[in-house]
């Protein structure tokens, strides 16, 4: 089973999750986001753990530090393996999140700038004066120094983070699309899985290119072959 590819469960029901797991038995990592978790709660986590799967809980916690620490502790009690927080929550929030996983193997992954954002949006709508790549770097640097285990960023920022921050952290990348699935939907900064791995990503998150394929299991296998055997 691949440790590099995370399949995003962007669906509404546990029955759909069961169907996906049966179609992609070779998939080890699954992302549970706000859409699925809000509808199904911890039941979907329980099912995936019973199947021997690893879980990337992508709820992007962003709140006052103590609330985030308590939320992280609750997530750990469910048996998740990684979870996301927003780096925009600041240093203390990241520090408290890290405290919430102490004594466990759960990894704290900090989201920098969402892959749907452009530089114009972060400057004009969010009031961030930095250039986009500087915003990603500054948030990543802060989050890692505060105790985060890894970073989520778009494929476009992988190279600069590796060049400036080294290799001693997990780098997880959404916004990748195989050449046979060219639609980018709401992702503004994308590239192919092979390119993302070559630039230094540790793990990739994909959903629609696999779930919308005629044969999801075959699509999953093709991407794994691309990123693990054709570099």
Q: How far apart are CA 72 and CA 5, in angstroms?
A: 23
Per-residue burial over 81-101, b if 16 or more Cβ lie within 10 Å, else e, is bbbbbbbbbbeebbbbbbbbb
60 is catalytic: yes
**Cα gap 61→84, rounded to integer Å:** 6
Give the Cα separation of 89 and 129 in Å (integer). Answer: 17
Let me know how many helices (H) and strands (E) the chain has, helices first: 11, 8
Annotated catalytic residue within 49, 53, 60, 107: 60
Q: How distant is the alpha carbon of residue 181 from its chain centre?
A: 20
Cα(169)–Cα(149) distance, integer angstroms:
6
The structure tokens 């530090």 sit at 65
Instruction: State the catalytic residues.
Output: 60
């Amino acid at each position: 089973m691949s440790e590099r590819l995370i399949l995003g469960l962007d669906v509404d029901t546990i029955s759909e999750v069961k169907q996906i797991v049966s179609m992609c038995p070779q998939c080890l990592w699954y992302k549970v986001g706000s859409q699925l978790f809000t509808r199904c709660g911890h039941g979907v986590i329980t099912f995936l753990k019973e199947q021997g799967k690893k879980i990337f809980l992508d709820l992007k916690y962003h709140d006052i530090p103590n609330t985030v620490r308590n939320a992280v502790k609750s997530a750990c009690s469910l048996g998740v393996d990684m979870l996301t927080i927003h780096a925009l929550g600041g240093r203390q929030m990241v520090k408290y999140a890290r405290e919430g996983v102490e004594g466990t193997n759960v990894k704290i992954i900090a989201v920098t700038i969402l892959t749907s954002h452009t530089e114009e949006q972060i400057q004009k709508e969010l009031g961030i004066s930095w250039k986009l790549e500087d915003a990603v770097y500054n948030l990543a640097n802060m989050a890692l120094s505060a105790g985060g285990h890894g970073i989520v960023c778009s494929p476009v920022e992988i190279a600069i983070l590796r060049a400036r921050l080294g290799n001693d952290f997990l780098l997880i990348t959404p916004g990748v699309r195989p050449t046979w699935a060219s639609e980018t939907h709401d992702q503004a900064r994308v590239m192919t899985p092979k390119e993302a791995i070559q630039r230094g990503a540790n793990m990739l998150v994909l959903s629609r290119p696999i779930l919308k394929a005629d044969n999801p299991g075959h699509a999953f296998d093709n991407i794994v072959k691309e990123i693990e055997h054709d570099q």
